[in-house]
Amino acid sequence: MFDFDSIPHIKEVSACHGVYDEKNLNEKDPVSFDERQQRSKKVLPDLEEAIKRVGLKDGMTISFHHHFRNGDYVINMVMDVIAKMGIKDLTVAASSLTDCHWPLIEHIKNGVIKHIETSGLRGKLGDAVSHGLMDFPVIFRSHGGRAAAIETGELHIDVAFLGAPSCDPYGNANGYNRDSEEGSCCGSLGYAKLDALYADKCIIITDHLVSFPNTPFGIPESQVDYVVKVDNIGDPNGIMSGATRYTKNPKELLIAQYATNAIVASGYFKNNFSMQMGSGGASLAVARYLREKMLEQDIKCRFALGGITGQIVQMHEEGLVKKILDVQSFDLIAANSVKNNRFHQQIDASYYASYVNKGAAVNQLDFVILSALEVDVDFNVNVMTGSDGVIRGAVGGHPDTAAGASMTIVVCPLLRGRIPTICTKVNTVCTPGRTVDVVVTDQGIAVNPARPELYERFVEAGLPVTTIEKLRDRAERIAGKPEPIKYGEKIVGVLMYRDNTVIDVIREVID
Amino acid sequence: MEIKKTGVAGTMESSDIIVRIEPKNTEGVELTLESAVMQQYGRQIEKVIRETLEGLGVTSAYVNAVDKGALDCTVAARTLAAAYRAAESKDYVWNGGSIR
Amino acid sequence: MSRLRRSMLFVPGNNPGMIRDAHIYGSDSIMFDLEDSVAITEKDAARFLVYKALTTLRYGKKELVVRINDLSSGLGVADLEAIVRARPDVIRLPKTDSAKDVIECEREIERIEREAGIPVGTTGMMAAIESANGVLNAKEIAFSSKRLIGIALGAEDYVTDLKTTRSPEGIELMFARGMIVNAAKAAGIMALDTVYSDVNNEEGFIAEATMIRKMGFDGKSVINPRQIAPLHKVFTPSEKDLMKAHAIMDAIAEANARGSGVASLKGKMIDKPVVARAQYLLEMAERAKTITVEEV
């Protein structure tokens, strides 16, 4: 027995709620764990119920991730339900949008969607936006820029609708399924993680409701409000290809060979280097050629970052790449590796690329290999608008990695069909030339004059080095000088640089 | 050169162009062009086709071209091949010979 | 030093994309083909395309070769009418069975050169030998024209003629290769080997390239750009060979400085052929060392 008030200093102890009283105890729940989890109050029968519970209202901001790529069913499914419920004027802040999201066009026309923020647009939706579908221009942010905007609260997400290949009744969600080999698999949930963390409300949409605990998880239950089970979150074939294939295109292989030789000669190719490779044909081939050089010279990579492919996983499993930081898995081999390899770590978008985050992994890169639709003589890169001026790309982590890496290499053919890739002025600036160090084409390598030491090293190594102006001239000599694309006045898209300042705008296309 | 029947040359491969030339009853070359690079090079492609036909003395024809990003030299080569085929002629005239 | 002809890239004459990009892969020569890679119905179209490409596009310092149809096909002369005027470096005559084939072709080339006002004799030739008879006549073919820069083996037709097939080891080509390389060297021209068609078998390709280099061939035709880099590697002298060559040249220089006509290395006198070989090796290494951006 004790006298509560006589305990010295007890009034000053925080988190002390007085004297224990048996009356306050909850009833003991005698059912089995399995029965109990079946009754989880987080699991709701359908999307409509979940949307009602989170209190979605006109004018709010909702978010989605793009880990299901072109196989995604979630965005269209959720938007259809929202439209049916009569909610209007929403801002859709997706980490990215792609071809399969064309049904959003109707929701935009009907006023359900007022505004879109995304990393990219493609297909019919990109085409429609380029032709003036929306009055509020689409805001394009890099992955790092979006992460920063969410972290600082500037991009406030009211409700995140996040598809997950597996989830337990309490909301522990994952990009793969440890309980079954069936269903879809996207590996890392990197872009979804941050949305779950910062959104006011978070709904997980899954087609595989598995038993608690769904560990190790990509998104923890503490960040999840509701879980909705649906028949299918996506088309597995659209979400993942089995393995990203090596290109046999001789021109891509040639570019890759040049890029590899540039890396080897750059001074950054030494033990414990760090790198990021894209998933384009030439980038993947660089991984293959670099692997040969690593074996030849007994050099190991400390970490590989970014969108991860089977090629990187192979190098990891061979011991050539020690650690993998994976914000997005590009193929099934990569996705399975997230599941099976201890040092294949999924990371969120902020860890990956946010400028607010000083420790962001992009800042630790020795080099990155990036692609481009256009590069101009000031080294500015366009990855957004096609040769007809229509939106058909994504900013992705392009400006983030370019800014962070010690050496940024852009690989592209000198011409695509008849269109020069190296030009006088890019149609849309996505990544500023100041952050691009080397441009590798099939017809020569150009080094940014700001990096004379790289130029020297490449010349020393006998690489085919030239100037960016000469590459542009050569392209125009072969193809002829292209006439400019005709744009209207209306601004249909705004490109935010990674610090969320406006770097360029996209105007309406006139046919 | 007189266009006697339909002559076609080229393929649908990237960097190629299909040129189809057909007889026409009235004077003038009527040209329709589809191109993957219409905005940037449409006028140039049309110019090359017209100049090539002019060089052959073709003054009356329907021409339909579907371009997949062909360079000027390819546009000219396909136009020449289609025109000779359409004229059922093998009297080729090669103008080269100048020293490179 | 004469031109390097380690690699000759085959480019189908009716493929505009490949014709446009033919120079980017770093082969020593580019061979535009009007023969086997062009369907019989497209011979005219390919001729226009190659003619236009040669007279319009720039290929830098690459040696430009055009393979015409053989004269007996009825297409060869028409090919020459166009191609000679487009001024490639070399006309490649396929299916050469005898010196007569070369001479006939040369006569046509000369006639066209005169008609077009091209300096007579400036169009080079090479003869591809693709039959048992042709192989036996390799010597007379190699000596048949001053225009010949080399003779080549065309293996596909040849093995058909022998009623055998190609093997990975190439035993069926031993005699033909021996004849051709010997005839070429006797005539002071180059010997060029046939294509290796299994583009996915890099190991087999390298083995064959190593063998033909050892035999004395100057180069090889390639059908895929991917084969060029490994081929050049085979034709690049090894570090060991280079060091030896440098030592030989140093010894010569030292002997010259002494005013002595006799140089020796490690107590052994250096013969004239040894010097020539060392010189050739060094030049080849120099040429092979850097890939430069040509001003095309």
* Predicted confidence (pLDDT) per residue in C51-71, tens digit: 999 999 999 889 999 999 999
What does the pLDDT read at residue C291? 55
Pick the closest to residue A395 from A146, A216, A184 (CA basis): A146
Q: Do the chains contact at C16 and B97, CB–CB below 8 Å?
A: no
Q: Which residues of B touch C (CB under 8 A)?
A: 9-11, 13-16, 70-74, 76-78, 80-81, 84-85, 90, 92, 94-100
Query: In angstroms, rounded to a whole number, what is the distance separating the alpha carbons of residues C225 and C31?
Result: 12
Helix or strand run (H / E) with residue C76: helix C76-86
Taking the Cβ of residue A296 and every Cβ of chain C, the question of whether any pair is shorter than 8 Å is answered with no
A9-52: per-residue pLDDT in tens?
999 999 999 999 999 898 899 999 999 999 999 999 999 999 99
Same fold, A39-239 and A250-485: yes
pTM of the model: 0.93
Query: In angstroms, rounded to a whole number, what is the distance separating the alpha carbons of residues A501 and C115?
Result: 68
Contacting residues of B for C116, CB less than 8 Å apart: 94, 96-97
pLDDT at C295 over 60: no
User: How many angstroms separate the CA of residue C74 from the nearest CA in chain B?
Assistant: 13
More confident residue, A145 or C284: A145
Q: Which domains does chain B have, with CATH numbers?
A: 7-86 (3.30.230.10)
pLDDT at B98 over 70: no
By C-alpha distance, the chain A residue nearest C25 is A254
Nearest CB to B41 within list A478, A482, A486: A482
The CA distances from residue A84 to A80, A81, B63, C166, in Å, are 6, 5, 52, 69
By C-alpha distance, the chain C residue nearest B83 is C45
User: How many angstroms separate the CA of residue A417 from the nearest CA in chain B?
Assistant: 5
Token couple for A317: 């499993």
Q: Does domain A39-239 have CATH number 3.30.565.10?
A: no
- What's the ipTM? 0.95
Could you tell me which residues are beta bridge partners of residue A416? A419
Nearest CB to B71 within list A388, A479, A482: A479
By C-alpha distance, the chain C residue nearest A247 is C226
Parse chain A into domains and list their residue ranges: 39-239, 250-485
Q: Do the chains contact at A464 and C24, CB–CB below 8 Å?
A: no
A75, A101 in Cβ contact below 8 A?
yes
pLDDT, mean over chain C:
93
User: How many angstroms separate the CA of residue B37 from the nearest CA in chain A?
Assistant: 7
b/e sequence A195-216, b meaning 16+ C-beta within 10 Å: bbbbbebbbbbbbbbbebebee
What does the pLDDT read at residue C266? 82
**pLDDT confidence of C273, banded at 50, 70, 90?**
confident
Across B40-54, B55-69, C116-130, C250-264, least confident range = C250-264
Q: Which residues of C touch B (CB under 8 A)?
A: 14-17, 19-20, 44-45, 48-49, 51-57, 78, 81-82, 85-87, 116-119
| Residue numbers of chain A with a pLDDT score lower than 70 | 242-243
Query: In angstroms, rounded to a whole number, what is the distance separating the alpha carbons of residues A306 and A364?
Result: 12
Q: Which of residues 5-34 of B touch A (CB under 8 A)?
A: 14-15
The CA distances from residue C289 to A254, A269, A286, C232, C236, in Å, are 17, 21, 22, 10, 8
Nearest CB to A462 within list C21, C224, C290: C290
Q: Give the side-chain half-sphere CA count within 13 A for C172.
A: 18
In the CATH scheme, what architecture does the domain A250-485 have?
3-Layer(aba) Sandwich (3.40)
Taking the Cβ of residue A247 and every Cβ of chain C, the question of whether any pair is shorter than 8 Å is answered with no
What does the pLDDT read at residue C292? 56
SS3 A389: coil
What does the pLDDT read at residue B99? 39
Please name the amino acid found at residue C21. Answer: D
Q: Per-residue DSSP letters for A255-292?
A: HHHHHHHHHHHSS--STTEEEE--SSHHHHHHHHHHHH
A408, A355 in Cβ contact below 8 A?
no
